[in-house]
Amino acid sequence: MSETKSVYAAYSGNTYLFGGNAPYVEEMYENYLANPGSVPDTWRSYFDALQHVPASDGSDAKDVPHLPVINAFAERAKQGGTKVVQASADVEMGRKRTAVQQLIAAYRNVGQRWADLDPLQRTERPVIHELEPSFYGFSDADQEAVFDTSNTFFGKDRMSLRELLNALRETYCGTVGPEYMYITNQAEKRWWQQKLESIRSKPSFNTDKKKHILDRLTAAEGLERFLHTKFVGQKRFSLEGGESFIAAMDELIQQAGAKGVQEIVIGMAHRGRLNVLVNTLGKMPGDLFAEFDHTAPEDLPAGDVKYHQGFSSDVTTPGGPVHLSLAFNPSHLEIVNPVVEGSVRARMDRRGDRRGDQVLPVLVHGDAAFAGQGVNQETLALAQTRGYTTGGTVHLIINNQIGFTTSDPRDLRSTLYCTDIVKGVESPVLHVNGDDPEAVVLATQLALEYRMEFRKDVVVDIICFRKLGHNEQDTPSLTQPLMYKKIAQHPGTRKLYADRLASQGMPDTLGDEMAKAFRAAMDAGKHTVDPVLTNFKSKYAVDWSPFLGKKWTDVGETAIPLAEWKRLAEKITTIPESVTPHQLVRKVYDDRAAMGRGDLPVDWGMGEHMAFASLVASGYPVRLSGEDCGRGTFTHRHAVIHDQKREKWDVGTYVPLENVADNQAPFVVIDSILSEEAVLGFEYGYASNDPNTLVIWEAQFGDFANGAQVVIDQFIASGEVKWGRVNGITLMLPHGYEGQGPEHSSARLERFMQLSADANMQVVQPTTASQIFHILRRQMVRNLRKPLIIMTPKSLLRAKDAASPLSEFTKGGFQTVIGESKALKADKVKRVIACSGKVYYDLVKKREEKGADEVAILRVEQLYPFPHKVFASELRKFPNATEILWCQDEPQNQGAWFFIQHNIHENMVEGQKLGYSGRAASASPAVGYSHLHQEQQKALVEGAFAKLKGFILTK
């Protein structure tokens, strides 16, 4: 053992081998004893020496006890082991090898922070110690030392430190600054290392490619300058300063087409939108100019401004025609993103394209909006979920470094980069200097390759600037004088690139010649994208003509034959023997089977299911999404049966509605993530591209729609009158005053009422199972495609009074108004109570208690468009009624009252008075105290039968 200690004494001066590192050394030695090849070469040589220390008996000691060795290290520490002693050459080289690997890792992790990314060069490059060799103990004397670099892709397995450092800086600190090391998938990280390091993040384009890039820069700059001089002061959200974006879009489309993509759906905000319309999608410049000088056709009820308009076209690519769609979108910036994703998913489903091989979503953002708008977080969270994945999205950020008017980093955001939100879903980012258009094009190529390989989102952050203000009427130097001094001195990206090509031997006049040619095309109003196909039509294109010009009064046959009812009912209530449902679910399905036979009245859940079954059996797909909508928030639906004997989480469910017929249309039910805004936007986008699918979003509680109000206001309510976009999305919003407090009572019916005009949507509040059956079927079997807003019930889901006899499903249809159901003596009726929703059943019960047969009760099931003819007909059945009263659960300033009173008044006759009974006006949708709720409910129901006081309107 003394000889063993003498061997270790040779190394004990090395600070790596004593003190706090003793456990590490012990573990290393244990590994060596088990497998000598498992430890680094340097350590193996140390331990090999030990293996050949002669034992006291003269033999070799092959298994030296390691505890005395560790004790020797510890003893050395006690005796002043912290003193640095000259290490052996082998040990020092081992340390340097480790340091080289740390240096490589540092550049891969944070190299982008030292990259040349800002065209304005407003600040000096930061000092990042981890990127300096001296941080790892290297000196100038080490520059020519050669190290193993086999874990890199620089083309050499061994490089000098100088060579390695140059390669790392070229790859990670040039005009492309990649971020990908936070990705946990090792294959993805190695992919990026191979792609970037093998070319050192530098493109090698031929002359024709470079000329084409210059041509796209010329087109981008030329359009903006043309508009700036021809339409002085008009708002257009200029792209000047970010012209490389147009080159990126051109490359993305051409390369995507070459890879087999046949459709690209683009979502973007205002900056550069007009440029994309003309220079990417091929909109005729003359058509754009007509919008500026107000000579364009104005054939929509409302229309929208130029920089909200959408467009579609077909362009030629190396892989064949590609259909481009630029989505319509409002000023709420990023809200278009989930709409685009939904539209893409609908196109994928129509093609049977499960991976996104043929359809590509492209989202274009501003830097401040990308970091600041919460809908981005929600949309990213959808990206890899089963019901919403689109096979990865390419994100392009036009990073003006100023956002709206804020360039001060203390106010701009709380993250280093505007792209940092994507790290949560492990999407890679390529930051790139917008003044290097070749680097921008290269980054775009790599982003598309990654998306097609790994089917994940990827971001290209084009760091540029905004030459003019937020809009052309803005004076940005008011708040950014330093930034705009730099911008005023900038010659422009096109000029810089033209000079660069001239220095490479191309003609000095090339850039000017291109600019003149583009100006001539503008003056002639010609296409700037060549070629744009004008007669191409894909077999997957949707024919919208059957759905245009329809009226809400058009009828559709929604009843189904009794034999078909029974056949479908048996199909959806039969559970395979291999599936063991929960006993409560078994009871539900047993009851539904009885309802299908006509042995029990049909409840709400069965009415829904039969509507879905009959639609998919007739070739209409159904897509139902929302939080917990498979089961239903109030456990009424149970569209998905979970096998109670399942042993794995990803198997053991049965969906009866998927098994209606051999050739049925798809039924898809999705329990969404806890999101309203992005999910509803997604479903709106899906419905906007598929008029033949019943697309339903169900809120967990109706008031959860508050979180999606932007989608409701700016798309659902107004999309048709602004953009001519027909859409048949259905919203199911649980609504009802049952004492659940302010947050779980109201779906804010009043908001939908206020948004109703121009026959823009349908707002209904059905009160029976047959009504929900007919309204869901009506949404598809007639060709009217308008958003359908359904105030669905909660307590009525199981209420016996809301159940319907089988006969109401096999004949008739949706009733916009349900008249008095009791055989009253019409001439004795003095008051007619009109109402909507659950309160009807409270009123009927109170009437029976009071024996008030002089009061008739009408249910308005469709609140908008208001069914004037049917309502007037029901009202006239009681010629002696002098009092009309509207009764509602909601506070007076909410619900339907303020909207409905004028419609009722229009149908009254001379001498009739109109009154109101309901909760008093309130700042809150409902009270939170149970006893107070009961008192209010009792008062409003009794008030409906009390003497009419302070009537509102008279005829």
Q: What is the pLDDT of residues 442-451, one digit of tens each?
A: 999 999 999 9
Residue that wins the pLDDT comparison between 296 and 742: 742
- DSSP letter, residue 804: B
Residue 747 CB neighbour total at 10 angstroms? 26
| pLDDT tens, position by position, 203-224 | 999 999 999 999 999 999 988 8
How far apart are the C-alpha atoms of 222 and 377, rounded to whole Å? 36
Nearest Cα to Cα of residue 568 among 664, 695, 692: 664
Phi then psi for 620, rounded to 5 degrees?
-100, 115
- Whether 505 maps to a domain, the answer reads no
SS3 496: helix
Residue 85: its pLDDT value, please? 38
Same domain, 173 and 126: yes
Residue 13 Cα distances to 45, 83, 514, 559, 909, angstroms? 17, 8, 71, 92, 108
Same domain, 314 and 336: yes
- Whether 605 maps to a domain, the answer reads yes
User: Last residue of some domain: 782, 810, 838?
Assistant: 810
Residue that wins the pLDDT comparison between 913 and 17: 913
User: Last residue of some domain: 810, 839, 862?
Assistant: 810
Phi then psi for 718, rounded to 5 degrees?
-125, 0
Ramachandran region of residue 736, left (φ > 0), alpha (ψ -120 to 50) or beta? left
Same domain, 753 and 830: no
What is the Cα Rg of the chain in Å?
36
Q: Report the CATH number at residue 939.
A: 3.40.50.11610
Task: Point out which residues pair with 884 in neighbouring strands.
Answer: 832, 914
How far apart are the C-alpha atoms of 164 and 730, rounded to whole Å? 60
Specify whether the CB–CB gap between 43 and 90 falls below 8 A: no
- Whether 173 maps to a domain, the answer reads yes
Same domain, 841 and 900: yes
Nearest Cα to Cα of residue 307 among 333, 286, 325, 282: 333
Same domain, 341 and 388: yes
Name the residue with tokens 């309510």: 717
Distance of CA 412 to the CA centre of its chain: 23
Residue 828 CB neighbour total at 10 angstroms? 13
| pLDDT tens, position by position, 744-769 | 999 999 999 999 999 999 999 999 99
Residue 397: its pLDDT value, please? 97
Kind and range of the H or E run holding 788: strand 788-792
Same domain, 248 and 308: yes
Specify whether the CB–CB gap between 829 and 875 falls below 8 A: no
Q: Report the CATH number at residue 751.
A: 3.40.50.12470
Q: Indicate whether 147 pLDDT > 80.
A: yes
Q: Indicate whether 13 pLDDT > 60.
A: no
* Position 52 confidence tier, pLDDT thresholds 50, 70, 90: low
Same domain, 607 and 755: yes
Can you tell me the mean pLDDT for 161-187? 97
Can you tell me the mean pLDDT for 630-634? 92
Specify whether the CB–CB gap between 338 and 378 falls below 8 A: yes
User: Last residue of some domain: 533, 559, 579?
Assistant: 533
Same domain, 63 and 102: no
Specify whether the CB–CB gap between 762 and 552 falls below 8 A: yes
* Position 2 confidence tier, pLDDT thresholds 50, 70, 90: very low
Bond prior to 491 in cis (omega within 30° of 0): no
Q: Indicate whether 576 pLDDT > 90.
A: yes
- DSSP letter, residue 713: I
Q: Report the CATH number at residue 343.
A: 3.40.50.970
- Whether 218 maps to a domain, the answer reads no
Share of the chain residues as helix, strand and coil, in percent rounded to the nearest 5: 45, 15, 40
Specify whether the CB–CB gap between 399 and 462 falls below 8 A: yes
Residue that wins the pLDDT comparison between 766 and 414: 766
The C-alpha angle with vertex 739 and arms to 734 and 741, in degrees rounded to 5, equals 80
| pLDDT tens, position by position, 280-306 | 998 888 777 777 666 666 666 666 565
**Which segment of 264-273, 607-616, 824-833 scores lowest on mean pLDDT?**
264-273
Nearest Cα to Cα of residue 764 among 790, 745, 787, 796: 790
Nearest Cα to Cα of residue 120 among 417, 415, 602, 491: 491
Name the residue with tokens 């009760």: 857
Residue 523: its pLDDT value, please? 82
Range(s) of the domain holding residue 175? 97-197
**Which segment of 68-82, 296-310, 406-420, 819-833 scores lowest on mean pLDDT?**
68-82
pLDDT more than 90, % of the chain:
71
Kind and range of the H or E run holding 458: strand 458-463
Same domain, 402 and 257: yes
- Whether 184 maps to a domain, the answer reads yes
> In the numeric block, which tokens belong to residue 80?
């002043």
Same domain, 63 and 109: no
How far apart are the C-alpha atoms of 520 and 759, rounded to whole Å? 46
Characterize the bridge pairing of strands 883-891 and 913-919: parallel
Residue 299: its pLDDT value, please? 66
- Whether 538 maps to a domain, the answer reads no
Q: Indicate whether 889 pLDDT > 60.
A: yes
Q: Indicate whether 23 pLDDT > 80.
A: no
Residue 879 CB neighbour total at 10 angstroms? 10
Q: How many domains does the chain have?
A: 5
Query: What is the average pLDDT score of the chain?
Result: 89
Name the residue with tokens 């090849």: 37
- Whether 655 maps to a domain, the answer reads no
Name the residue with tokens 């989102």: 457
Can you tell me the mean pLDDT for 526-553? 85
Residue 14: its pLDDT value, please? 45
Could you tell me the pTM of the whole model? 0.88
Strands (E), 529-666: 532-533, 622-626, 641-642, 653-654
Residue 670: its pLDDT value, please? 95
Same domain, 45 and 134: no
Strands (E), 672-765: 694-698, 730-734, 762-764
Q: Indicate whether 202 pLDDT > 90.
A: yes
Q: Which amino acid is residue 424, in one-letter code?
A: G
Nearest Cα to Cα of residue 328 among 302, 353, 351, 352: 302
Ramachandran region of residue 368, left (φ > 0), alpha (ψ -120 to 50) or beta? alpha
Residues contacting 93, CB < 8 A, separation 6+: 42
Same domain, 821 and 685: no
Specify whether the CB–CB gap between 413 and 399 falls below 8 A: no
- Whether 137 maps to a domain, the answer reads yes
3-state helix/strand/coil string of 848-904: HHHCCCCEEEEEECEEECCCHHHHHHHHCCCCCCCEEEEEEEEECCCCCHHHHHHHH
Residue 285: its pLDDT value, please? 82
